Chain A
Amino acid sequence: MVSPNSPETPGSAASASGSPRAIQDVVIRLAGNSQDGIQSVGGFLARLAGRSDQDIMTYMTIPSTISGGPSIFQVRMGTGDVLSAGDRADMLVAFYQHSYDAHIGSLRPGGVLVYDSDQVTPAADDNRFTNVAVPITTATVEAVGGTSKDKGKNIFILGLIARVFDLDVAKLSALIKERFGGKDESIVRNSMLAFDAGYAWPQNNLRDLFYRFEAVDRQRASSGRPQVTLDGNTAIAYGLIAAGVRHGAGYPITPWSSIMETLRVEFPKYGGIFVQCEDEIASISTAIGFSYTGQLAITGSSGPGLSLKMEALGWATMAEIPLIVVNVQRGGPSTGMPTNVEQSDLMQAIYGSHGDTPRVVIAPKNVEDCFYVAIEACRIAREYSTPVIILTDMGLSSRIEAFDEPDLPKLMVDPKADLSERGTDFKPYPLDKITRHAPPGARIASGKYPTVTGLEHDELGHPTGSPKLHTQMTAKRRDKIKKLAASLPAPEFNGDSSGEVLLVTWGSSWGPGLEALGRIRKVGVKAGHLHLRHIHPLPNGLEDSFKRFHKIVVAELNDEGLYGYGQLAMMLRARYANPSIVSVTKTDGLTFKVSELVAGVAKHIESTELDAALGVSRKSALATS
């Protein structure tokens, strides 16, 4: 057998099939069942890219039923900035007939179909693709031998991909050894056997497929720190730890669970505690209790669980307790599409609960931002003594990306509670200042201990039915959030500063939005892209950006609702009373494809008087770009 780790190395393989074709990025979709370990292939590729100078974004679906069932992993690797998961695959690896049937439509014409010829019979009359038959099952069994059956098919394919895309075999082998090194020695040996077999496989028409990533001069300034590769949920968890959060409570629900699992294991290393509670109500209650002791705490969930937390969230707003609530959005309502993405909890995050409950909502744009949004959320929660909701989504939660390791020594926040004695003038709810609670354990020089309460209260926390005080205290709770709004930086803006269309995105739609902007401008449309990270409160001054464009197209993964506008679009229209604000929405449970955004924008430009100025040719160019 030819092993890439033995003298027969990529160089000699290259000579066998001529020189490689240069590519900038590639989208590979692996389709199989969840127990086939295709996620780990994605993981290896992601980490390889992290260790090379390649960006990576993965796209992963897992079935909501746990044992078996269809599962895919889509990885897009490139040497430039990879912004979206890729609209269509360049290569599809189909492990089963059902994988082929369900995913052949995602392969671009001219793309490469690699299928397990032991399992799949492709349509005989479909000649749009380069079909490559590989007996993945038998080849793996032959290579590994023994009793492991077809386990290792994933690593076989990894080897094959490494050969086709001329990946760094030494680094990949090192990753495989690191990954399985702690386990039974036979696992590493079998994995390497499967990998080598896949690497050596290319024969027949597969021999002609040989690519190499073009080296590009990267514009991005290097931080000098190495790249790390992780998913969005993990990034949030470590962001919270960096921000000094050491306490939390939660209840399992997909796709939030992995955050609580990480924190349950990690917190004790930092002297902290994460409690698994009996339900989401208990979880937020326990988290608020933790925060009340002067240590900012976290709870979280997905849509249904966030609904359960709403009453207590109202209390935290009233009592002015800092708190972090993570909501990993999925398709709703109810159990909905638990393993798909949606951005339909926006209104719930902003306006859920009862009464007037001003609070803060921020949304990360990619995996790296998950880390920094967590830090930003903690800063705001402490500074403004308020609950902050981090609105992330299923897309980000399981997606793996590589980014520069954060500057940890600079970012670490000391979690210590302030138990110093408070002076005789201490008031928990001063009307002229932002609340700074005295946690239990802190002496109060006056001997008058504060009550924190959900009843409307006076400055000392005593219940009051005074109409005047309720008005004043409602204003106090609102004004601090307005103060935050005034301090927020201008949102990320790209493209032309004025023109025909401004594309507005939030959350994980950032990448596809930015990529769509490039395509829109390429055909000559003057366009900008504005991405909102702070969603509530909105940063001040957006109206000026809006005024400079004829149409403001807000793209979001939720329904257009009864009135024809997505949730953010609805809010922006209410706030700015600007009729040029329109919506692009969808509810198929998948992240935006760049082409969908471009088409959505084209549709709206068509619908204005501006159509004439645009010209037919440009319009059709947009629609097909």
Chain B
Amino acid sequence: MSATALATPPPAPGAPLTKKALVADHPTWCPGCGDFAVLASFYRVLEKLNYPHEKIVTFAGIGCSSRFPYFVNTHGGHFIHGRALPFAAGISLGNDDLHVFVFGGDGDGFSIGGNHLVHTARKNVNLTYVIMDNSVYGLTKKQTSPTSPLGFKSKTDPWGAIDQPINPMRTLLNSGATFVARSHATQVNHMTDMMLRAAKHPGFSVVEILSECVEFFEGAFDAANPRKGGAWNLVDEKKHDGTPEDASRHDITDEVAAFKLAQQAWPGSFGVFYENNTRKTKNVLEHDLIAKAKEKTKNASDLQVLQSTFARLR
């Protein structure tokens, strides 16, 4: 998020940010849970970004995946189920110097928080959102989630899920997010790269990471795991090098092409689907409003503005 239109101060002098400084409580996830790898990648992302430690904020909703902030030693916390995005919007808009990361699960983001996802995205609030999609409700122990495939047997659908699941990538693109990427928790380098690019994107960036719940939906994402005989298809991004083969590559600024990628048959492709660097962030737009208002009041002090308001009420 740093390379934005909003000034970000240089990293604090002194030692670079290391994993050692970033680890906090020992993760409480089940052994083998995909979320461990997301956490490991996130440490690497923060090391690479090397932001001033005190300016990083890690927040989450509720779910196994949403426990994330306890395991990262930064300012942060754990909000209520599904509402971490509007909360984080307040953080981002409240202090532009901060680097805001939000973590959560598929239930948290697409079900109870679905409407917030759409609105935070369309407003292009400057923050990075990582969805750890395990296609099941983990914390509450195996109920159907909005990304559970048809036929998935859960405690709420013992006969197999009957409701059409959502297509996460299509949902994210449709919501107006200005950076949309997809990754897989077994691919640490790829995840790191996606989160890094998301963090550097000015505006609302979201990475959907398929992260297996070994407890309640084992093997959910094997189809995209080469070690399990699956196909790992990377998005072949256009290089703008003028070569003939470049013509057929994916232009990440092309929204229609991004929707086409999102329509691919399971397990689809991984990488950056879409990035739009032309839309202003809400942070910038609100600051434009402030600048205009201040121009009108000729930069009067708060007291002067309020006094002149009261004078008009006489």
Contacts and interface: CB of A to CB of B under 8 A. Distances in A.
A229 B70 contact: no
Interface of B: 21, 24-25, 53-57, 69-70, 73-80, 83, 86-95, 97-98, 115-116, 118-119, 286, 289-290, 292-294, 296-297, 302-303, 305-307, 309-310, 313-314
Interface string A433-446: 00000111111100
Given A247-B90, A273-B286, A293-B94, A319 B83 contact: no
Given A266-B309, A269-B293, A462-B25, 12 more contacts: A229-B314, A238-B309, A247-B94, A269-B296, A273-B93, A285-B80, A286-B87, A289-B89, A290-B90, A290-B94, A443-B54, A449-B74
Interface in A223-278: 226-230, 234, 238, 241-242, 247, 249, 266, 268-273, 275, 277-278
Contacts of B57: 440
Contact of A448 (B73, B115, B313): B73
Contacts, number: 180
Given A269-B297, A282-B119, A315-B79, A293 B90 contact: yes
Contact of A297 (B56, B69, B90): B90
A451 B78 contact: yes
Nearest to A277: B86
Size bracket, chain A contacts: 35 or more
A271 B294 contact: yes
A458 to B, nearest CB: 11
Nearest to B22: A449
Given A229-B313, A281-B86, A282-B83, A269 B91 contact: no
Contacts of B95: 293-294, 417, 439-441
A293 B314 contact: no
A46 to B, nearest CB: 10
B70 A463 contact: yes
A273 to B, nearest CB: 5
Q: A-B pairs with the 6 shortest C-beta distances? A: A289-B90, A293-B94, A440-B75, A268-B293, A282-B86, A285-B86
Contact of A312 (B83, B115, B118): B83
B80 A440 contact: no
Nearest to B112: A281
B78 to A, nearest CB: 4
A310 to B, nearest CB: 11
21 contacts: A242-B306, A268-B286, A268-B292, A270-B302, A273-B94, A273-B286, A281-B86, A281-B116, A285-B87, A286-B87, A289-B86, A289-B89, A289-B94, A290-B94, A297-B94, A311-B80, A406-B310, A408-B303, A439-B75, A444-B54, A449-B76
Dominant SS at the B interface?
helix
A508 B78 CA distance: 39
B314 A51 contact: yes
Nearest to A286: B90
Contacts of B296: 269
Contacts of B294: 268-269, 271
Most buried by A among B56, B94, B98: B94
A440 B70 contact: no
A440 B305 contact: no
Contacts of B307: 408
A319 B59 CA distance: 13
B54 A449 contact: yes
Interface in A39-64: 47, 50-51
Given A281-B83, A441-B98, A447 B53 contact: yes
